[in-house]
Structure formats: structure tokens, C-alpha cells
Amino acid sequence: MSPLKGLKVIELARVLAGPWAGQTLADYGADVIKLESFDGDDTRQWGPPFVERDGSASYFHSCNRGKHSVAVDLRSDADQAFIRDLVADADILIENFKLGGLAKYGLDYQTLKQVNPGLIYCSVTGFGQTGPYAHRAGYDYIIQGMSGLMSVTGAVEGQPQKVGVAVTDIFTGLYGVTAILAALHQRHETGTGQHIDMSLLDVAVAIGANQGMNYLTTGNSPQRIGNAHQNLAPYQVFDCADGWLIIATGNDGQYQRLCQLLDLEEMATAPDYLKNADRLKNRDEMTRRLTEKTLARTKADLLTACEAHGVPAGPINDMGEVFADPQVQARWMQDELDGVPTVRAPVVFSDAELAMKKPSPALDEHGAEIRANLWAAVKD
């Protein structure tokens, strides 16, 4: 049995953050009805590559598995009424329209809570429902820049870099799910739903984590330092004879063992590198001396030595190497749904099952069925 079996979710969302929340709920067993325009979610066209099953882009299939698709025209009075009928017995609605965008269709929270007082209504926007930027459209790339994430990502020289996937969208989707589940728990006590206001910028600022705290503690904005770490050393990518290896020492003992396996015993207890604060202060010289030794080793040889000595280390894999990795394979992270490849949701329950049985739907694949069933229920 799946943990959220029996929950009904209406998704009026497109692109990534809202759909990621909907997909996560679907993976956990909720019945998610994705309402799309007759042109479909924007990401259906974000290719190549495209998935042969329905011609939609791989991007769309990355965040919409397990859902039902119904095409609607929000300008249509009949479809507005249809959506309100769907909402009447729904548990959750997820939307990512601009501020006030659904009010003109009678699909805003204030209207729909009159239809269903128990509805949990999650709004996802770039900047939230309040504040001077609330009216603006928000995109992950822009949010990565505004939130400070790009200011601490990339090499010291050249342009700041974004993360290679839309992390603020994905984190907002996941924070949205945790908020929805918290509201569901509260509904068990109160019997009523509520409105959840999710902002990409809020989330991106929050996941600044130690970098944000570094600033709040000192008043100094952290700067880009490439593949090094603001608060730990050595914790970075090292050059090897045939490429690179990540070595991530998290305490003094691990650092000392790294020195020993590189035949640098004198550095293990040298005052300049004895404690983490010392290593941060003398990072450049320490890195130079360590790199002289790592350059003489191959990636595989150095990784084997690190593992043997209890020093955390790992390779930099491309996606092909990721899905060929025996650990990734042992955890069944790659799956296939009706001929469509997918990445398994990264959760393993001891007494429940993920509901990953269906790929992403074709546009309006379930429209006739759901409309007919709803009409039949109304007649009954």
C-alpha cells in the first residue's frame, strides 16, 4: 500500500516547481489530476530529446509521472465549473499562476475554500503573495542569481555559475510537499484546510544554509572559491595524473590520514595545518603541497588508497557513469514505466510502497474518462 493512497490532488501547475510537488505526491500514492491548457504544459516542448511514447520532451517526463492529464480552457465557464466540481472533494490543489492569476476565473483560494473548506491550496510563485516583487514572474535561473547562490558558485575568476539543474524549483517543490503534509496533519485536528504560500526566492535564500549564516555571523559576504569549501579544508577537487578526484576531509583525523597516504607525514601534525582553522588560514600552501602528491597518482589508485585509509573521496561522474555505478544500480534508481525510462523517487519505506506504476501522461489522456466519471457522479 502507498502512504498517500486515497488523497485527491488537483494540479494547476506547469514547468517544474509545482509539477515536482505533484509528482512527489503521486509517487507516494496520491491521485493527481493535472489540468493543462490545450497547448499542454510548456515543458512538453522543451526538447530535444523527446520520448517516443507521446512525443513530449524528456524534461516533461522528468516531473510528471503517475498523473492523469485533462485539458481545460480556463476562459470557459463550463471548464471553470468543471474544475470547481473536481475541487469539491479534493484534498489538495497546487497552482503556480502569477499573483491573482486564478481569481478572475473563480479558482483562487478564497473562492474555492467556499466550495471545499477542507482544501489545502498550495500556491507556488517566484516571490510569494506579498512584498514589492510579488507581481513579478520568477524563473529558477533569475532566482539563483538574486538569492546569492550564484555568488558562491563557480571559479574565482570569470562569471558566477548557476547549478546545472533548476535547484530552486526542485527545492520549492519539495518544501511545498512537506508544507502540504504538515497542513494535512493539522487538518486532522481542525477539520479545515488552508492556503500555503511558497516562494522560490524564500526557498533559495533558506537553502543558502552555512553560506547565509557565514554572512549573518560576520557581516562579510562569502565569495566564490571554485571547488573548495568555505568552512572546511581540505575539502575540494584535487588534480590527478589522469583527471580529478574529490577529497572531502571533515575532521582532523581524516586530514592526518590523507597526509599519511600521500607520504606527507610531516604535514599531519605541522602547526600550520593542525586544526581546521589553521588549514583554512593556510589553504593555498596546503593545497599546493597536497596537489604535488595527488598529481603523481591516478584517480583509481588514489580513490582506492583513500577508501583503505578511511578518507572520504569520490569520483566526478558523468550521467552515463552515474547510471552504470553499481551502488546506483543496487538501489534501483533507474526504472522503466511502460517503456519510458525514469529515475526512481529516492525514498524506501519499510512498510509501504511507492506508487510508481505509470509514466507521464499524454496531453488530455484522461480527459474523457474523468469528465465522464464526474458527470456520472453528479447524475447519481
Residue positions annotated with a catalytic role: 169
Residue 326 identity: P
Nearest C-alpha neighbor of 288 from the set 361, 238, 352: 238
Please give the grid coordinates belonging to residue 279.
588549514
Element (H, E) at 84: helix 77-87
Helices then strands, counting H and E runs in the chain, come out as: 16, 11
Residue 294 identity: T
List, in order, residues 6 or more apart from 4 with CB less than 8 Å away: 25, 28, 29, 30, 355
Residue whose C-alpha cell reads 572546511 in the numeric block: 232
The whole-angstrom separation of Cα 318 and Cα 379 is 55
Please give the grid coordinates belonging to residue 159.
562569471
Query: Do the bridges between strand 31-36 and strand 334-337 make them parallel or antiparallel, or are there none, so unpaired?
Result: unpaired
* DSSP letters spanning 299-351: HHHHHHHHHHTT--EE----HHHHHH-HHHHHTT-EEEETTEEEEPPS---SS
Question: Contact, 207 vs 148, CB < 8 A?
Answer: no
Query: Do the bridges between strand 313-314 and strand 243-248 make them parallel or antiparallel, or are there none, so unpaired?
Result: antiparallel
Element (H, E) at 283: helix 283-294
Residue 115 identity: V
Q: Residue 288: phi, psi to the nearest 5?
A: -60, -45
Q: How far is CA 16 from the centre of its chain?
A: 9
